Structure 1
C-alpha cells in the first residue's frame, strides 16, 4: 500500500514462449510461463487456436478459479486434451498489464529462482479475486519480494503491519485484514486506488 509514494516497478517477467517437453510426439505435454495480460483462454489459443484447452489447463494445474492466474506461474499444457474438451467462454479477468508494452522491464531474479505462485485461497467471488489481483499488479507487479522503503511485498504493506513475517501467507492474511477494516472489500479498495493512485 502506498501513501503518495511512487509505484514500484520491480517485476519478474519470464520469457514468453512455451517449451516443448517431447521432441516428436505432437500430443506431448508442454510447459508455458504465464505473462502479464494472459488468460487461460489466450494461452489455450496460443497452443491450439481456440479456447478448448481451458478446462484441461485448469485441471492439470489445480486452478480452482479460472479467472485467477499469476504472471510467472508455470503451467503444464496437454494439447491432447483438445479433442476431449469443448470450447468454453472467455474468462472475464485477465492478468493486469502493469506498464506500457514498450517500457523496459527490470528483471530482479533469474527465472529458476522465481517464487511459485501461491495456491488460490478458498473459492472467492470472481469480482473480489479480480479486484485483489488488480491491486497486487498495480502495487508490485504481483511479486511477494517487491520492496520500496518500508513497503513490502505483493500488496506493498507497511513493514510494521507484517511484524517481521514477510511470508506470502502472512502478506495475504494481513492484506485481507487491512482491506476489510479500511475499505470493507477489495472492490472498495480498488475504487479508492483508481481515484487516488494508492490504497
Structure 2
C-alpha cells in the first residue's frame, strides 16, 4: 500500500483512478445515473451527455463534488437530463467494453471457497469498510490495478496468492486494524489522501 500513495496522487491529478471498471448509465425519468469508469473526468462525462463541457459545474454541484478534478471509479453520478440523451450518452449506457469482460473473467476465476471468514465489523465500521470498497474497486473481488488486487485493492504480496473473497476480507481487516486501528480512521485517511 505504501507505493500506492504516489500512484493515486498521479491518477487523481489526471482525473482517473483505476482500471477495468466499465461505465453504466440508467435512464430514469429526467435523471441518469452514471457510474464512473477508468479515465473519466467531469469534462469527458459532460461530453457524453451534452457534447460539450457545459455540464461540468452542474455535475459537480448536483453530486456534491468539491474538487472537479477528483472523481473515482465506481462513483455514481446523477446527471439531470431532459430524458432524450445524446447518441454518445446512449452508447455509454449500452456499451460493454473489453475491460469489463476482462474484469468479469478475472472475477469468475477468483475462488471464493478456499475458506470462510466472517468480518467482525458492524455499524459505522461496516459502513466505512463498504465505502472504501466502493471507491477502491466498485466492490469487485476480481478487480485489478497493477499489483493491487480485489475488492480492497490490496497488494498482491499481502494476499500471498490467495485471492479468494474470504482471504481478501481477512487481510483487509488485518491491514486496516494494524495500520489505522479502525475502518472509520481508514476512511478519514482515504478522504484526505485519495488512498488508504
TM-score (norm 2): 0.50
Higher helix proportion (structure 1 or 2): 2
Higher relative contact order structure (alpha carbons within 8 Å, sequence separation ≥ 6): 1
TM-score (norm 1): 0.49
